[in-house]
Amino acid sequence: MELLHSGKVRDVYADGDDLILVASDRISIYDVALPTPIPDKGRLLTALSLWWFEQLADLVPNHVISATDVPAEFAGRAIRCRRLDMVPVECVARGYLTGGGFAEYRRTGAVSGVELPRGLVEASILPQPIFTPSTKAPKGEHDEPITYAQVVDKVGAEVAERLRQITIDVYRRGAEIAADRGILVADTKIELGWAPDGTLVLADEVLTSDSSRFWPAESYQPGRAQFSYDKQYVRDWATGSGWDKQPPAPEVPAEVVEATRARYVEVYEKLTGTTWE
């Protein structure tokens, strides 16, 4: 195998015509990889992505070839995948107003160029899910929100509409399934790429605690920050630490690592109905 790319949290190897996507235990916030790993994170995200790929298979094809035909040292945290020509856009869908979207709304009344009603508050549910794409920044740089018109400029009107529709469809399906299990999906980011036959294919990870915001439905209350089953807990710790969001990042305290792992495990178990071993 040949190492093609070592990202913030994933490593990509070439194995003949296939790719081996390996999820590490590294965690990234504000587009910076932290020096402290979260134990089992890579295995948890891989298992959850594989579960979601099955739930979404009738909506959009995915890049998975095998989760077992991988090198033994990567077992449980790697997927054998098809090679794709990746779309140069981060595809994001939001069903609730939070995070950077809420900050932008407070400044402009819109998110990524999508005008929203007045008077919305932190964690407000949106009238309908919206497509809020961003750039795909190189390692060490930050993704930046872009408008739908900018996506059209990048990929053309027909492809832009397909990206938007697939992203919203994935979000709606994910939110519906999660709601049945007591979880609200506030937003999610997906990656899409072109297969050699011209098919748009879902890649990377999907509806995980690294690519989505998950909230417990039972405690949801708009107007405040929500308890989060994802890496928002680490973001909040980092913000409170005074870190300037530029590398190098500080070490993460043991109690924050333990609490973060517990949240990843809990949402995996709630969504899949499977006990994490």
Tens digit of pLDDT for each residue in 243-273?
998 999 999 999 999 999 999 999 999 999 9
In a domain, 44, yes or no: no
Cα(265)–Cα(276) distance, integer angstroms: 7
Enumerate residues 6+ apart whose C-beta is below 8 A from 265.
Answer: 40, 44, 276
- CATH code of the domain in which 206 resides: 3.30.470.20
Among the ranges 25-29, 164-168, 249-253, which has the highest mean pLDDT value? 164-168
125-131/200-203 β-pairing: unpaired
pLDDT in tens, 168-184: 999 999 999 999 999 99
Q: What is the mean pLDDT of the chain?
A: 95
Count of domains forming the chain: 1
Cα(271)–Cα(149) distance, integer angstroms: 35
pLDDT in tens, 83-93: 999 999 999 99
In a domain, 1, yes or no: no
Cα(52)–Cα(69) distance, integer angstroms: 19
CA angle 119/121/125 to nearest 5° reads: 100
Reply yes or no on whether the pLDDT at 140 is more than 60.
Answer: no
CA 70 to chain centre: 23
Range of the domain at 101: 85-219
In a domain, 133, yes or no: yes
In a domain, 21, yes or no: no
pLDDT for position 34: 94
Say if pTM beats, i.e. exceeds, 0.75: yes
Alpha helices in the chain (DSSP H): 41-56, 99-108, 148-155, 157-179, 232-241, 254-272
Nearest to 12 by CA among 65, 138, 23: 23
User: What kind and span of H or E run contains 62?
Assistant: none
In a domain, 259, yes or no: no
pLDDT in tens, 200-211: 999 999 999 999
pLDDT for position 142: 66
In a domain, 53, yes or no: no
Reply yes or no on whether the pLDDT at 199 is more than 70.
Answer: yes
In a domain, 185, yes or no: yes
User: Per-residue pLDDT averaged across 116-142, rounded?
Assistant: 89
pLDDT for position 138: 62
**Percent residues over pLDDT 70 in the chain:** 98
